[in-house]
Structure 1
């Protein structure tokens, strides 16, 4: 990514949001890891749907870039939250500008991420977490998002998520 995003800042923001949600919904005693993993799968599917990368039967193009980025950062929220919930954290990732999957195929990268989420689900290790996070960031890069784009959109969506909690979402 062009400018390395401040992952530590994003983790801190997510910790604060997670705490707020746990307190508001009295979830301190609940293990939410499986629900967060399922939520991440759902968010990844929503993202794929907006890119339309797999819709070979349709002539309609992808959604607007802004909408795709908003869906993308929904996944970032859950990946950060999973790291927090499993006491796993990373401070940086090495994703280069233009880095993509071997096939340079967005559909293949979506499938790769589904596999890495499943691996993380089966064994919540630091290595599997880093692989999942890196695979997701590579997808963002393939979709044309810089670290700065992702960080800015994350901050905006984080505020929306707080506002939704205040409104009884």
Structure 2
């Protein structure tokens, strides 16, 4: 499966959710609602990343407990991915936009490390 497929699946779910919340199938209203809740999606993304961190316990240096099950960690990762894809759709990002931005930043990160960033 490619990122374009994931974006399409997420867009379908987001539209389904919007139609339920708004109680309408009017695409103009659905698209506007999606734009209007971008701030809420970003907050939800942040919360989901926090839940993933809690599941891995990666930051709990004081705890003697290990991470939660691999299944739980994968589930939390999937929640992060869902929100990330939803945000990307809200920003009208296309697969090629995501790939280009990633490759550009990836190269920049290597350059920064080579330069002692």
TM-score, structure 2 length as denominator? 0.72
Structure 1 unmatched ranges of 5 or more = 95-125, 135-169
* 1:69 aligned residue (74, 81, 88): 74
CA RMSD of superposed structures (Å): 2.4
| Equivalent in the alignment of 2:2 | 6
Q: Does 1:78 align with 2:74?
A: no
| Equivalent in the alignment of 2:112 | none
Q: 1:47, 1:72 within 8 Å by CA — same for their partners in 2?
A: yes
Deviates more, 1:23-32 or 1:52-61: 23-32
Spell out structure 1 runs of 4+ moving beyond 6 A: none
Number of corresponding residues: 95
Q: Does 1:46 align with 2:46?
A: no
Which structure shows the bigger proportion of residues in helix conformation?
2
- Shift in Å at residue 90 of structure 1? 2.2
Task: Please show how residues 124-139 of structure 1 align to structure 2 within 5 Å.
Answer: 127=101, 130=102
CA distance in 2, matches of 1:73, 1:20: 19
- Shift in Å at residue 91 of structure 1? 4.6
| Equivalent in the alignment of 2:115 | none
- Over alpha carbons, which structure has the higher Rg? 2
The 1:21–1:93 alpha-carbon spacing in structure 2 relative to 1, beyond 3 Å, is: closer
Higher relative contact order (CA 8 A, sep 6+): 1
